[in-house]
Chain A
Amino acid sequence: MKDTLLNIVNLSLAYEDELVVDQINLKLHSDEILCIVGESGSGKTTLLRGICRDKNVLVLSGDVQMDLNRMGVISQNPNGAFNPLRRFDKQLRETLVSNGLEYREQEILDLFERIGLQDGASILRSRPFEMSGGMNQRIAIAATMLLEPKMLLCDEPTSALDVTSANLVVDLLCRYRQKKHVGILLITHNLGIAAKMADRVAIMQKGRIIESGTTDEIFGNPKEAYTKQLMADVPKLVG
């Protein structure tokens, strides 16, 4: 029986006087990847911010039920997760200690190796500005994993990355889910990513979930015209 990690009930969110998210109902379970897909401006990121209790987002109605202490967040900007000028080991130590955990370098090096980050000792002594966006994003995911969250909220974690790095990040998240049976809520505008990794997909348009279902249902038999349009708009590789 899967645990319900996140339960969103009739949630409406606004920025000042502008309604951005309208009556959203969603559940995320353990050992599951739920992708929310929509074009830019559909309210996906606002929804995520509302879930994270961002004070800049006004909750007009509804409720979000979850355990904030067992949640990890992966942001879109791979260069914003860390202070670009401080060494990774110092920042990871600070993160672990502030969460009541001990900094054990060997455990971190083992984790780096498991997730395909070579030369972990050198990485720990490096600074984020010395790394590429892809590397920073993978290290950010590793840092989140160190805290062993039950749920991951990912806000377009691959949109700022090249195709190869994006693929590595997607694989990393899928493997983490398989190993730890976590629930992952992933916001993306990339249908390919959703098709590859999601168990369930929710299509968002103008602040509303217009269609949701399993990946096979959504991609195999989309019902809404907008969903069909999104599929049709995906550029095809020539040849």
Chain B
Amino acid sequence: MKTKRSLKRKLILSAVLAGILILIAIFSEVLAPNDPYQTNAAMIRKAPSAMYWFGTDNLGRCVFSRVLYGAKTTIFATFLLVAISFVIGTLIGMLCGYYGGIVDEALMRLADLTLAFPQMVVAIAVAGMLGGGLVGAMIALGITMWTTFARLARSHTRTVKQEPYITAAKLSGKSGCYIILRHILPNILEPVLISALTQIGTTMIGISGLSFLGLGVVAPQAEWGSMISEARAYIQIAPWAVLFPAGATIVTIIVFNYLGDALVEYRNHP
């Protein structure tokens, strides 16, 4: 059985790795040695070298610089989407859990309806209707994502609502809004935040997946999914143009999933 100390080390390690990735995304413009959008007809599909660490793509663009800029797009879009879904889902969940009644019934049946379809199928359909683009992809994924947070927040709210201090607050004349924000939200935040963290990997796959299918970020903007999609046509000639963005995607998803797992294990350890 793992000790608390070993779990703490795992958590710190994964947090450090995640932090490094985030810093890379933030400072991508500083770290990139070349302009990621600069084409160069003389350097088309060049193998990795001292000048181009990850080689070049079909338009002579620096793959390494595009991977760094892609980190910014992918990671920030993911974080933004998870954050928005978290806020909306948690708010809906708390309102449903606290007030119950017809609003709770209606919203939870809507959540059930949304969850009846596979998330990516819905996302592809909605993104297609919206005509693609990063915002369209985020909306498409966000349509199903809020339900996870809403259900979790609702469940925890219904538990916290039973506590005597909530009854005392009601008897003191505190409004529902006050009770939700002051008493319920702080006490349900931890499990819902942990869920948000574990959603990052899935969301990243979703955004990259839609971009790969041409329904997310479109060229020339650097994004890992769209880079893989562009480069797969000439993978046999210039495999680095696929492998490096794919590798970056895999590593990032593993790191954030590892962080989510580490946090859950650490929290659940007695």
A positions within 8 Å CB-CB of B: 73, 75, 77, 80-86, 91, 94-95, 98-99
| Nearest chain B residue, comparing its CB with the CB of A75 | B164
Interface size on B, residues (CB 8 A): 12
Shortest CB distance A105–B (Å): 20
B positions within 8 Å CB-CB of A: 163-165, 168-169, 172-174, 182-183, 186-187
- Where chain B touches its partner, the secondary structure class is helix
* Given A95-B172, A98-B174: A77 touches B187 (CB 8 Å cut-off): no
B172 touches A82 (CB 8 A): no
A83 touches B164 (CB 8 A): no
A84 touches B187 (CB 8 A): yes
A85 touches B164 (CB 8 A): no
| Nearest chain A residue, comparing its CB with the CB of B163 | A80
Which residues of A lie under 8 Å from residue B169 when comparing CB positions? Answer: 94
A99 to B168, CA, bound (A): 11
* Given A77-B164, A80-B165: A85 touches B173 (CB 8 Å cut-off): no
A183 to B173, CA, bound (A): 26
* Given A94-B172, A95-B172, A99-B172: A82 touches B186 (CB 8 Å cut-off): no
Shortest CB distance B23–A (Å): 31
Shortest CB distance B40–A (Å): 57
A85 to B164, CA, bound (A): 15
Our pick among A75, A85, A91, A95 for the contact of B186 (Cβ within 8 Å) is A85
A137 to B51, CA, bound (A): 69
Which residues of A lie under 8 Å from residue B168 when comparing CB positions? Answer: 81, 95
Our pick among A81, A95, A98 for the contact of B164 (Cβ within 8 Å) is A81
* Given A75-B164, A77-B164: A83 touches B183 (CB 8 Å cut-off): yes
A82 to B183, CA, bound (A): 10
15 examples of A-B residue contacts, CB within 8 angstroms: A73-B164, A75-B164, A77-B163, A80-B164, A81-B164, A81-B168, A83-B182, A83-B183, A83-B187, A84-B187, A85-B186, A86-B182, A95-B168, A98-B173, A98-B174
Tally the A-B contacts, defined by beta carbons under 8 Å: 31
A86 touches B186 (CB 8 A): yes
A75 to B182, CA, bound (A): 21
Shortest CB distance A60–B (Å): 23
Shortest CB distance B186–A (Å): 5
Which residues of A lie under 8 Å from residue B163 when comparing CB positions? Answer: 77, 80
| Nearest chain A residue, comparing its CB with the CB of B186 | A85
Shortest CB distance B197–A (Å): 20
Our pick among B172, B183, B186 for the contact of A98 (Cβ within 8 Å) is B172
A108 to B217, CA, bound (A): 61
A83 touches B172 (CB 8 A): no
Which residues of A lie under 8 Å from residue B174 when comparing CB positions? Answer: 98
Most buried by A among B168, B173, B182, B186: B168
Which residues of A lie under 8 Å from residue B165 when comparing CB positions? Answer: 80-83, 91
B173 touches A83 (CB 8 A): no
| Nearest chain A residue, comparing its CB with the CB of B183 | A83
| Nearest chain B residue, comparing its CB with the CB of A76 | B164
A84 to B186, CA, bound (A): 9
Q: Which 5 A-B pairs have the closest CB atoms?
A: A98-B172, A80-B163, A80-B164, A75-B164, A85-B186
Which residues of A lie under 8 Å from residue B164 when comparing CB positions? Answer: 73, 75, 77, 80-81
Shortest CB distance A190–B (Å): 21
Which residues of A lie under 8 Å from residue B187 when comparing CB positions? Answer: 83-85
Which residues of B lie under 8 Å from residue A85 when comparing CB positions? Answer: 186-187
Which residues of B lie under 8 Å from residue A81 when comparing CB positions? Answer: 164-165, 168
A75 to B168, CA, bound (A): 11
Extra inter-chain contacts (14) besides given A80-B165, A83-B186, A98-B172, CB under 8 Å: A77-B163, A77-B164, A80-B163, A81-B164, A81-B168, A83-B165, A83-B183, A84-B187, A85-B186, A86-B182, A86-B183, A86-B186, A91-B165, A99-B172
Shortest CB distance B123–A (Å): 36
Which residues of A lie under 8 Å from residue B182 when comparing CB positions? Answer: 83, 86
Which residues of A lie under 8 Å from residue B183 when comparing CB positions? Answer: 83, 86
Which residues of B lie under 8 Å from residue A84 when comparing CB positions? Answer: 187
A200 to B173, CA, bound (A): 35
| Nearest chain B residue, comparing its CB with the CB of A54 | B167
Shortest CB distance A82–B (Å): 5
A91 to B183, CA, bound (A): 11
A82 to B167, CA, bound (A): 11
A75 to B167, CA, bound (A): 12
Which residues of B lie under 8 Å from residue A98 when comparing CB positions? Answer: 172-174
A89 to B124, CA, bound (A): 52
A99 to B163, CA, bound (A): 20
Which residues of A lie under 8 Å from residue B186 when comparing CB positions? Answer: 83, 85-86
Which residues of B lie under 8 Å from residue A94 when comparing CB positions? Answer: 169, 172
